[in-house]
């Protein structure tokens, strides 16, 4: 069994712990707000023998955690969202440290397939001015960032596919919804609605564990995202 460190022991961290054994990973270290509030547990002693870390914390703590893990030379999977503005800095930190690093705003396999379908629809409608587009997401009321990292990534994929018209973006926060994302195109004649609905958090946890095991097995280094694991093996 490869040795796993969980950085963040909230809803996702606990679920990762429950499922890690199924992926050939043994959790040997659990860091949370009580033992790592200021990064005090990011030490070579605590991380001795750790093969890979998975980080699910908050937008306020993720950068310090990534920097600490890079310094320790630990391959890392990051699920925390809300740090997109620091992407270039993180890429530099990861490349200087020479570690493997996989991030995704959404580790569900289904949503990554969904993103490909969205990009294809955007490409096909790029030259159709009769259609207007919207991008919408709904999450539980504890989610700290809005719009979600997944929705931002979906909109980026539409633009990368050549879609230049305005895309109206909106978010709702209510109840316990694990995550719903919808992209729509509307014209006077018809509507196309593409929607992904996460039923629970398990899909995110399984994807992050799959990415961690892939890092251990392939020993790949560099700044990657989950699509490298899923589609560019």
Ligand X SMILES: NC(=O)c1ccc[n+]([C@@H]2O[C@H](COP(=O)([O-])OP(=O)(O)OC[C@H]3O[C@@H](n4cnc5c(N)ncnc54)[C@H](OP(=O)(O)O)[C@@H]3O)[C@@H](O)[C@H]2O)c1
By CB under 6 A, residue 112 contacts ligand X: no
User: In the range 173-212, which residues lie near ligand X by CB under 6 A?
Assistant: 204
By CB under 6 A, residue 53 contacts ligand X: no
By CB under 6 A, residue 225 contacts ligand X: no
In the complex, what is the shortest distance from the CB of residue 114 to ligand X, in angstroms, rounded to a whole number?
A: 13
Binding span for ligand X by CB under 6 A among 33-41, 94-102, 180-188, 209-217: 33-41
The single residue among 5, 25, 29, 31 that binds ligand X, judged by CB under 6 A, is: 31
By CB under 6 A, residue 56 contacts ligand X: yes
Read off the tokens for 107. Answer: 């580790």
Catalytically annotated residue among 139, 196, 210, 213: 139
Q: Are 66 and 103 in contact (CB under 8 A)?
A: no
The single residue among 20, 76, 104, 153 that binds ligand X, judged by CB under 6 A, is: 104
- Tokens 């925390």 correspond to what residue? 80
In the complex, what is the shortest distance from the CB of residue 62 to ligand X, in angstroms, rounded to a whole number?
A: 7
In the complex, what is the shortest distance from the CB of residue 17 to ligand X, in angstroms, rounded to a whole number?
A: 11
Give catalytic status of residue 143 as yes or no: yes
By CB under 6 A, residue 8 contacts ligand X: yes
Question: What is the number of the residue whose Cβ is closest to ligand X?
Answer: 10
Interacting residue ranges for ligand X, rule: CB under 6 A: 7-13, 31-33, 36-37, 56-58, 61, 65, 79-82, 104-107, 143, 204
């Amino acid at each position: 069994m490869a040795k796993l460190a969980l950085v963040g022991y909230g809803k996702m961290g606990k679920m990762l712990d429950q499922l890690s054994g199924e992926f050939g990973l043994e959790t040997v270290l659990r860091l949370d707000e009580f033992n790592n509030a200021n990064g005090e547990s990011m030490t070579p002693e605590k991380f001795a023998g750790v093969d890979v870390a998975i980080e699910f914390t908050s937008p306020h703590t993720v950068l310090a955690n990534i920097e600490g893990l890079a310094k320790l030379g630990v391959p890392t999977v990051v699920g925390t969202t809300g740090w997109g503005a620091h992407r270039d800095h993180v890429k530099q930190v990861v490349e200087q440290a020479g570690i493997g690093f996989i991030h995704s705003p959404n580790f569900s396999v289904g949503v990554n397939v969904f993103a490909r379908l969205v990009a294809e629809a955007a490409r096909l409608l790029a030259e159709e001015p009769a259609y207007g587009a919207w991008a919408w997401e709904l999450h539980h009321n504890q989610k700290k960032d809005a719009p979600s990292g997944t929705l931002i990534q979906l909109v980026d994929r539409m633009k990368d596919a050549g879609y230049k018209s305005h895309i109206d973006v909106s978010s709702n926060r209510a109840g316990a919804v694990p995550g719903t994302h919808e992209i729509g195109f509307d014209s006077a004649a018809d509507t196309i609605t593409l929607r992904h609905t996460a039923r629970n958090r398990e899909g995110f946890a399984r994807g992050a564990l799959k990415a961690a095991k892939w890092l251990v097995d392939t020993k790949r280094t560099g700044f990657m995202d989950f699509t490298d694991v899923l589609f560019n093996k």
